[in-house]
Structure 1
Amino acid sequence: MNPAAPTDAPARAGRPARAPRPNGQWAVDGTAPLNHNEQMKQDDPALDVRRRVEEVYAKEGFASIDPDDLRGRLRWWGLYTQRRPGIDGGRTAQLEPHELEDEFFMLRVRVDGGALTTEQLRVVAGVSTDFARGTADVSDRQNIQMHWVRIEDVPEIWRRLEAVGLWTTEACGDCPRVILGSPVAGVSAEELLDPTPQIEEIQRRWIGDPELANLPRKFKSAITGHPSQDVVHEINDISFVAVDHPELGLGYDLFVGGGLSTTARLASRLGAFVRPEEVPEVWHGVVQVFRDYGYRRLRTKARLKFLLADWGPERFRQVLQEEYLHRVLPDGPAPGAPVGDADHVGVHPQKDGRRYVGVAPVVGRVSGEVLAAVADVAEAHGSRRVRLTPHQKLVVLDVPADEAEDVVAELGALGLQARPNLFRRTTMACTGIEFCKLAIVETKATATRAVAELDARLADVQKTLPSPVRLHVNGCPNSCARIQTADIGLKGQLVTDDDGGQVPGFQVHLGGGLASADREEAGLGRTVRGLKVTADDLVDYVDRVVRRYADERDGDETFAVWAHRADEEALR
C-alpha cells in the first residue's frame, strides 16, 4: 500500500481491509478527475483562456464569460473577481460565488524577486491610474495588486505590461506562482549569494509551461542569498536559503512543504545541499513531485505541505532524487541564525559604495500616483531600480551615498517612511472585505487606524522594547497576512460584543514568528481559549498586551517568548 494514500478506517477483525480511497495522485491513482475543479483543468488547459479573453470576453463584456473561466481559468492570468460592495461579512459563507462577486477584477502583476525598473514601475502606475481607479497594493508576495479592472481593458493592460517585460502569467491559479527573492539581491554588502540568475532561469524555462500549469494547488517558491533570510522561507512550498558548506563552498539549503492558511505547517529541511547552478533543476524536480504525487481529491488537502506531513522529509528527498533528479544530492549544513533586518527598511550600504533606501507604506497600500512619484524620486537621484519586499515594503536601489538623506525626505513626503515608528514598520494587512470575496471583516483601513493610534499611545514604550512587536491583520482564516507567524496575529471573524450583537472582530494568535535577528527559530502563535476582540477594541487590546509584556518581560526576552510562557489572564 502506498503510504501517501492511507485507508479511511483500520481493518476490523474478521473483515478484509478496505481499499484505500484514492487521493487523486496522478502517479498512484491515475489522472481521472475526482472533482469539478480537476475536471475543469483537464477539459481545457487554463492558460488557453487568454485567447478567449482577447477574442471574445474583452469584446462582448463580463456577461459573456464562461463560469469555469470566470471562477477558474482566469486566475492563471492574474484575475480574480472582486467582492460586490455592500455585502457584509456575515453573508460571506452564505452566498454563492455569483452573488458575492462584482463585475470587476483584482489584477495581480507578477514581479519575480520583487525586481522592477523605474520604467516598469511607471507602466504599472499608468495601468493603475488608467484602468484601476488608482488602486495599487504591495502584497507580501512581492506582487502589485490592483482593483476595479474591467475585462474589456485586460488586453490593453497585458500589452502595456508585456512591452516592458512584465506579465500576469500564473500570478494566481494551480501553478508555480511568483518566486520570492531577496529584495537586495546583487547589491547588498552583506549578501552571500545573488540568486537573480536562478530566478531568471526558472522564470524563462518554466513559467507558462503547460507541463507545470496543472498542479494540485498553488506552488510558492522563495530564494535568498542574504543573511537576514528575507523571503519567509519557512512558509513556502520550496525555498533555497544560502549556506556555506565546509567542503563545497557557498550554495543553498533546501526547504520543502511550508504553508499557512487554516492548517499551518512550517517547511521541512531536506538536509540537502544545492549548488547555485543546480537550483533550477532541483526546483523543477520538486514541482514535478508535487504535480505527480500531490493530493487532488480534496482541495483543502491539495497543498504540498500535506504530502510532506504524510511522507516526511526523508521519503520526499528519496523520491526527488531517485525519480526526478536521478542522482543523490550531497548533505549540507542548516542555515545559521538570521542576521540583520529582513524588511530592509532604512538606509543601507551596497557593495558598490552606493546606498539602498527601504521605506514603509502603511500596510502595503500605495496608489498609481505614488508609484509614479517613486519612479520620479529614484530617477532624480540616478537610480533606475526599485524592489518590492515580502513584508509589504518598497526599496530604492543605487542611491549615491551623499544623496541618501534627500531620497529619505522625498519619499517621506509621499507617505513612505524610511525611519517609521514600531507599528508603522511591523504591521501587515491583507486585502480584507473591501475587495476579497472570502473576507469577513475590513482590514486595510482598520490596520491603518490602529498603526496611527498605537504609535502615538505606545511612543514611550517602544523605546524600551528589546525587539519589534509585529502585528498582522487578516480578514478571514486563510492567513494571507501570515497571522500565525506574527507576535500578534488577528484572524477576522464575527464576534459577540458587550450587548450580545454580532460585530466585526478577530481571534487572537500570540507569539508566532519566523526566524529573524531577534528569533533563532520559526514558530507558530498560540491561541487562548475565548480570546477575541472586536474591531473597535483592537487598539485598546494591543495597547494593553504590549504594556503587560513591557512590564513583565525578563531582560531582553522577546514578545514571542513572553507570550508563550505568560498566564492566559495576562494575555487578555
Structure 2
Amino acid sequence: MYRYDEFDAAFVMGRTAQFADQVKRRLSGEMTEEQFRPLRLMNGLYLQLHAYMLRIAVPYGTLSAKQMRMFAHIARTYDRGYGHFTTRQNIQFNWPRLKDVPAILEELASVEMHAIQTSGNCIRNVTADHFAGAAADEIIDPRPIAEILRQWSSLHPEFSYLPRKFKIAVTGAPNDRAAIRFHDIGLQAATNAAGDIGWEVWVGGGLGRTPMIGKLINSFVPNEHLLAYLESIMRVYNRYGRRDNKYKARIKILVHEEGLETIKGQVEAEFAEVRGGVLSLPSEEVDRITTYFAPPAFKVQPATKIDVAYQSIIDPAYGRWLDHNINSHREPGYVSVTISLKPVGGAPGDATDKQMDDIADIAERYGFDELRVTHEQNLVLPHVAITDLRVVYDALVATGFADGNTGLITDMICCPGLDFCALANARSIPLAQEISRKFAEPKRQAEIGELKIKISGCINACGHHHVGHIGILGVEKKGGELYQITLGGDATEHAAVGKIIGPGFEAEQVPGAIETLVDTYIARRQSADETFIQAYRRLGEAPFKEALYGNA
C-alpha cells in the first residue's frame, strides 16, 4: 500500500493549514459564501440541502485498517455516527459543522488522507478495479499506475481549472470491474504482439444528462509514454472543451461533436511534441512505485478449494455468502471477500462508526491490514485465507454486513437523493429500501440471479442508473416525484446505456413495477442460467414494455 513521502506530507499539511485560515475568515464574516465556495470545493466541501458535506478521497479505493478507524472516529466525533461510501470509491460525511472541518482534515492528514480534488473542475480521485493486485484474471496490478496518475494530476498547474470535472478509471484485467468505458479517460491493461504490457486508452465516456460510451483512441500505449499521452489528451480538452455551457463542457461532448478521428489527430500532434521529454516514465520509477504494492506475505495454505454446496446444506446463510461474496484470487488458498453494505432495508453504502471499527479489526486480523472501496458501494477484503472464511463470516454477522447478496437484486447502487442533495429531484434511499424489503427472501433472490439495479435522484446520475440492468431515475413533475425506468444498461466490457421504456411511475408503484419486470424475465428466460441482461439482449424491450404498460 502506498505511503506518503516527504512531499506528500508537506503538501497535505500545507493545504490543511491554508484551508483552516479560509474557514476562519468565512466564520468571522470576512469572506462571503460566494467567495468561499471555490475554496471549499477545492477541499472537497459541498453545501448540500441541509448541511455541509465533506468528501474524502480514497485513492484507487485502497485503505488500511488505521485509515478505516479514522473514518469511524470522524463519524463518531464530528458527524452523526455514520459515513457514506460512494461510487467514486470515496467516503462522504453528510453532517460536519464548518468550524470542525479544519480539525477533521488535520486528523485525516495524520493517517495520510485528504479531501483535495474530490470536487471542482479538476482531475478527480483516480478509481480502479477493487480486486486489483488480487484477482486471478488480472494481467497486471493497475494500482502503481493509478498512484503515478494521482501524483501527476495533483495540483497540476495546467489542469486545475478545466472546463469541467474529469474522471479517470484503471483496470488491469480483461473483465472490466471499474466501468472504464464510462469515464472521461479509461485505461485497460493490454498486451502487444511482443508480449509487452501496456494500456488501451478509452476517451469520452460518461453518464449524466448525456450518457456516452467511451471510444478507443489508442489500443496500446506503453508505460513509458502513458503520462505523455494522457497529458496530450488533457491539453486538447483544456484548449477546446466548451466553457460557455457547463452541460456541454465534458470531454465526451468534445469527442462527439468533433469526432474521434479529429480528436485523435490533435492528441497525436501534442504527443509528438512531448513524447521523450520530461513526461517519459522510466521503468525504474514504475518499479519504485510498484514496490509499495508488493503482495502480502502469503503462506502455503492447507485448503485451496471451497465446498460451497456442502456448506450450503450445513448453514444456508453461510453458503449464500460463499456463493456470492467470494472472488477468486491469484494466490492458491486465498480469496477476496466482498462485504456487502446492502443489508435488507438499509441505506446502500452507509456504515456506522462501530461497523467501520469492526471491519477495520477484521481487516487487521484476517486481511493483511488492507481494505478496498468498490464503485458499487461495497467494501472488499482483498486477501483472505480460505481457512479463515468462517471466522470472517461470523465476525461480519456481528457487524450486520454478512448478507450474501453481491450482484443480486438487493445489491443496489443508490445516490443520496433528495434526502441530502440540493441537486436532486427525487428521493433515492427510501426507494432502494423498499425494493430491498420486497425482494428480501433469499430464495427469491436466488431464483432471480444476477441483476443490477441502480438508482439516481436526478439526471446527474450519481447512482449510475444509465448502466443498471434496471435503472431508476427520479424526476420532478408538477412539483411531485416521478421515477423513469431504463433497461439494458451495462458498465462492464459489454458496455451499454439503458433505454427509457415508457412513462414514469409514482414512488409507491416502483417496487411493483420492478417485480413485473422480474416476473417477465423469469417467465421468458431460456434457462435458469440465463441472466436478466442476457435475456433482455435476446428478447429486446417489447415483452418488458408490454408487461408494464400493456398495449398502450
Class of the TM-score when normalised by the shorter of the 2 chains: 0.7 to 0.9
Give the secondary-structure state (helix, strand or coil) at the position aligned to 1:226: coil
The offset of 1:394, in angstroms, is: 0.3
1:387-429: per-residue Cα shift (whole Å, max 9, x none)?
A: 0011111001332321122112212331223622764553110
Would you say 1:66 and 2:32 are equivalent positions? yes
Distance 1:134 1:64 in 2: 32
- Equivalence for 1:541: 513
| Greater mean alpha carbon deviation, residues 392-401 or residues 420-429 | 420-429
1:419 corresponds to which of 396, 404, 424? 404
- Equivalence for 1:145: 92
- Equivalence for 1:524: 497
- Equivalence for 2:252: 305
Distance 2:185 2:134 in 1: 24
Query: Which residue identity is paired with 1:83?
Result: L
The answer to whether the Cα contact below 8 Å between 1:357 and 1:408 also exists between their aligned partners in 2 is no
| Greater mean alpha carbon deviation, residues 375-384 or residues 299-308 | 375-384
Distance 1:60 1:477 in 2: 32
The answer to whether the Cα contact below 8 Å between 2:467 and 2:496 also exists between their aligned partners in 1 is yes
Q: What does 1:101-500 correspond to in 2, within 5 Å?
A: 104-326=51-273, 346-353=325-332, 354-362=334-342, 363-381=348-366, 383-417=368-402, 419-420=404-405, 423=408, 426-456=411-441, 460=443, 462-465=445-448, 468-494=450-476
The offset of 1:159, in angstroms, is: 1.1
1:88-109: per-residue Cα shift (whole Å, max 9, x none)?
A: xxxxxxxxxxxxxxxx311111
The answer to whether the Cα contact below 8 Å between 1:106 and 1:146 also exists between their aligned partners in 2 is yes
**Count of aligned residue pairs for this structure pair:** 480
Cα–Cα, structure 1 residues 414 and 364, in superposed 2: closer, same or farther, change >3 Å? same
Distance 2:201 2:132 in 1: 18
Distance 1:268 1:277 in 2: 22
The offset of 1:248, in angstroms, is: 4.7
The answer to whether the Cα contact below 8 Å between 2:338 and 2:406 also exists between their aligned partners in 1 is no
Distance 2:57 2:173 in 1: 22
The answer to whether the Cα contact below 8 Å between 2:169 and 2:178 also exists between their aligned partners in 1 is yes
Cα–Cα, structure 1 residues 234 and 293, in superposed 2: closer, same or farther, change >3 Å? same
Distance 2:226 2:389 in 1: 35
Give the secondary-structure state (helix, strand or coil) at the position aligned to 1:148: coil
Cα–Cα, structure 1 residues 132 and 278, in superposed 2: closer, same or farther, change >3 Å? farther
RMSD of equivalent CA atoms: 2.6
The offset of 1:232, in angstroms, is: 0.4
- Equivalence for 1:560: 536
The offset of 1:294, in angstroms, is: 0.9
Distance 1:64 1:446 in 2: 42
Cα–Cα, structure 1 residues 345 and 69, in superposed 2: closer, same or farther, change >3 Å? farther
Distance 2:324 2:459 in 1: 29
Query: Which residue identity is paired with 1:152?
Result: K
The answer to whether the Cα contact below 8 Å between 2:72 and 2:82 also exists between their aligned partners in 1 is no
Query: Which residue identity is paired with 1:436?
Result: C
Cα–Cα, structure 1 residues 199 and 421, in superposed 2: closer, same or farther, change >3 Å? closer
Cα–Cα, structure 1 residues 276 and 207, in superposed 2: closer, same or farther, change >3 Å? same
Give the secondary-structure state (helix, strand or coil) at the position aligned to 2:418: coil
Query: Which residue identity is paired with 1:234?
Result: R
Query: Which residue identity is paired with 1:474?
Result: S
Distance 1:59 1:491 in 2: 40
- Equivalence for 1:87: none
The offset of 1:382, in angstroms, is: 5.4
Distance 1:571 1:275 in 2: 49
Query: Which residue identity is paired with 2:206?
Result: G
The answer to whether the Cα contact below 8 Å between 2:425 and 2:476 also exists between their aligned partners in 1 is yes
The answer to whether the Cα contact below 8 Å between 2:412 and 2:432 also exists between their aligned partners in 1 is yes
Give the secondary-structure state (helix, strand or coil) at the position aligned to 1:177: coil
Q: What does 1:62-101 correspond to in 2, within 5 Å?
A: 65-84=31-50
Structure 1: 5+ residue stretches without partners: 1-47, 85-103, 330-343, 497-501
Distance 2:324 2:223 in 1: 27
Distance 2:445 2:21 in 1: 56
1:170-229: per-residue Cα shift (whole Å, max 9, x none)?
A: 001100001111112222232111111111112123212232111000000001102321
Distance 1:278 1:417 in 2: 44
Query: Which residue identity is paired with 1:488?
Result: I
Give the secondary-structure state (helix, strand or coil) at the position aligned to 1:455: coil
Cα–Cα, structure 1 residues 65 and 245, in superposed 2: closer, same or farther, change >3 Å? same
Distance 1:64 1:304 in 2: 37
The offset of 1:461, in angstroms, is: 5.0
Q: TM-score, normalised by structure 1?
A: 0.78
Cα–Cα, structure 1 residues 469 and 399, in superposed 2: closer, same or farther, change >3 Å? closer
Distance 1:490 1:62 in 2: 43
Query: Which residue identity is paired with 1:67?
Result: E
The offset of 1:257, in angstroms, is: 0.5
Query: Which residue identity is paired with 2:129?
Result: S
The offset of 1:462, in angstroms, is: 4.0
Give the secondary-structure state (helix, strand or coil) at the position aligned to 1:419: coil
Distance 1:292 1:73 in 2: 24
Query: Which residue identity is paired with 2:46?
Result: Y
The answer to whether the Cα contact below 8 Å between 2:204 and 2:251 also exists between their aligned partners in 1 is yes
The answer to whether the Cα contact below 8 Å between 1:49 and 1:69 also exists between their aligned partners in 2 is no
Would you say 1:570 and 2:520 are equivalent positions? no
The answer to whether the Cα contact below 8 Å between 2:335 and 2:382 also exists between their aligned partners in 1 is yes
- Equivalence for 1:20: none
